[in-house]
Amino acid sequence: MCASTTMTEPEGERERERERGPRFTVGYALAPKKQNSFIRDSLVNLARSRGIDLVKIDPNRALADQGPFHCVLHKLYGPEWKKQLGEFRLRNPNAVIIDSPDAIERLHNRISMLQVVSELEIEPRSLTFGIPKQIVIYDKETLFDRQSWVALKFPVISKPLVADGSAKSHKMALVYNHDGLNKLKPPIVLQEFVNHGGVIFKVYVVGSHVQCVKRKSLPDVSASSSSTSGDAAVLPFSQVSNIATDKKAEEKYYEMMDLDDTKMPPQEFIEGIANGLRGALKLNLFNFDVIRDARESC
């Protein structure tokens, strides 16, 4: 006697999924702009093929009532969202939250986010790293007090003290001399500008995985720029990759520059910094920028 069985398409798909192994559901909560940038069909399909289902979290519903999620990946802020994450953790103690709101809050202040850098000890010791000289300016009086500037040399980059991901927190400026101070609004961080060959190294960290890529950055600044005056003494920008300089000069500068000619930093060195920051900041998903001082060789 010969018996045969048939399997419907849904049953067949479930059977194939069981053969592929366990599946994981990751809920993501992102601002609309970041969601449109990162959650592409190609990413969703790739994740699905690797056993990971990406599910959008509805910010208008209680997080604890959604899911179930093995992991919550988020980039939202505020006390209400922090409360929701706390309630979700209580109901789902085994779920992973990337990253802890307390750890993320440290990054909202440009001074506290960089404090750990000076404490890191990275191999090989033959290579050095650090942050450019900087000061915090809380009010206009200090801004125009030249005694506050003893430690810094122009040009400087002005950055809002608060770095909460808002459009305002990305409004920076390259200030060539004291004339440019009139356009600044404290509280701000003033950081000495370091010529770096117009190249910035973007380092992306996902757990223990570290990826470093090259990107075009601010052009080097010549000594003669310190003589600019009036409105030309300050150059606003929102990202180092789209600074609004003279377009013809900018195009000529970048035409002469070939990223392929730029030597990458040693991977061991970059991984050492990344892992040191990951441990000190207690973060699993973040990125940071590295520049190579044009006065130094690496």
- Give the residue ranges of the annotated binding site for 1D-myo-inositol 1,3,4-trisphosphate: 34, 75, 170, 202
- Round to whole Å and give the CA distance between 176 and 229: 9
Contact between 208 and 275 under an 8 Å Cβ cutoff? The reply is yes
In whole angstroms, how far apart are CA 27 and each of 39, 48, 102? 12, 13, 20
Burial 252-265 (b: 16+ CB within 10 A, else e): eeeeebeeeeeeeb
Q: How far apart are CA 209 and CA 278, in angstroms?
A: 11
Residues 225 and 132: their CA atoms lie apart, in Å, by 19
In 10 A of CB 20, how many CB atoms? 11
Q: d(Cα 175, Cα 235) in Å, to the nearest integer? A: 6
Distances (CA, A) of 39 to 29, 33, 45: 11, 10, 10
Q: Which residues pair with 71 in a beta bridge?
A: 26, 96
Beta carbons within 8 Å of 277's beta carbon, 6+ residues apart: 116, 117, 120, 205, 283, 286, 288
Please enumerate, by residue number, every residue annotated as part of a binding site for ATP. Answer: 110, 159, 191-202, 217
Binding site members? 34, 75, 110, 159, 170, 191-202, 217
CB distance 70 to 95 below 8 Å: yes
SS3 assignment, position 231: helix
CB 126 within 8 A of CB 297: no
